[in-house]
Amino acid sequence: MNSSLCPCGSQKNYESCCGLAIDGGQIPAHAVDVMRSRYTAFVRGNYDYLRATWIPENCPDDLGADEPSQWISLEIIDVSDEEDDEAEVEFKAQLIFNNKLEVLHELSFFEKIDGRWLYHSGDFLNEDATPQKIAKDAPCPCGSGKIFKNCHFV
């Protein structure tokens, strides 16, 4: 995998994708672009950017305290119309947490304030899903080609 590809799965380079917002200070035009760039910011640990794109009163104080050991992929499932400065984005993200493979399936709510789309909150759509244990000698789900215990096993 080309390491300069943007983690959000766009198949573009980071610099010409989410990097424009995260490092370049550009304001994403659409809620789904904010969603993508926030995923990328989680992958890269850009917590300042996450705070800046979060409705302030909903942003956790301990942001970053309990993060997955690895974010694997993002899939945008559905994007609503942007009406009355509100929008919804449904996504699935794969991640490794406590050496288990989890899918985070969320419906995210965005609100446009002063011309910027901000993350308001999200509903988990698969709260009952059981994280899958990853065998130590199985291929790592991150796609590196290494076995798990030599890759993202912690």
The site for Zn ion (CB under 5 A) is made up of 6, 8, 10, 17-18, 36, 140, 142, 144, 151-152
* Nearest approach, Cβ of residue 54 and Zn ion (Å): 18
Q: State the Cα–Cα distance between residues 78 and 57, nearest whole angstrom.
A: 26
Q: How far is the CB of 65 from Zn ion (least distance, A)?
A: 22
Q: Which is nearer to Zn ion, 105 or 152 (CB)?
A: 152
Closest by alpha carbon to 142, among 92, 67, 71, 65? Answer: 71
Given the complex with Zn ion, which of 118 and 140 has the nearer CB atom?
Answer: 140
Q: Are 34 and 20 in contact (CB under 8 A)?
A: no
Residue 65 vs 154, nearer CB to Zn ion: 154
The CA distances from residue 103 to 3, 29, 132, in Å, are: 23, 27, 9
CB 60, min distance to Zn ion, A? 23
Do the Cβ atoms of 154 and 12 come closer than 8 Å? no
For residue 100 the two structure tokens come to 């288990």
Least separation in angstroms between residue 125's CB and Zn ion is 23
Residue number, 8 or 104, with CB nearest to Zn ion: 8
Nearer to Zn ion, 9 or 63 (CB): 9
Q: What is the closest distance, in whole angstroms, from the C-beta atom of residue 140 to Zn ion in the complex?
A: 3
Give the CB-side neighbour count of residue 70, counting CA atoms within 13 A: 16
Phi, psi of 57 (to 5 degrees): -70, -15
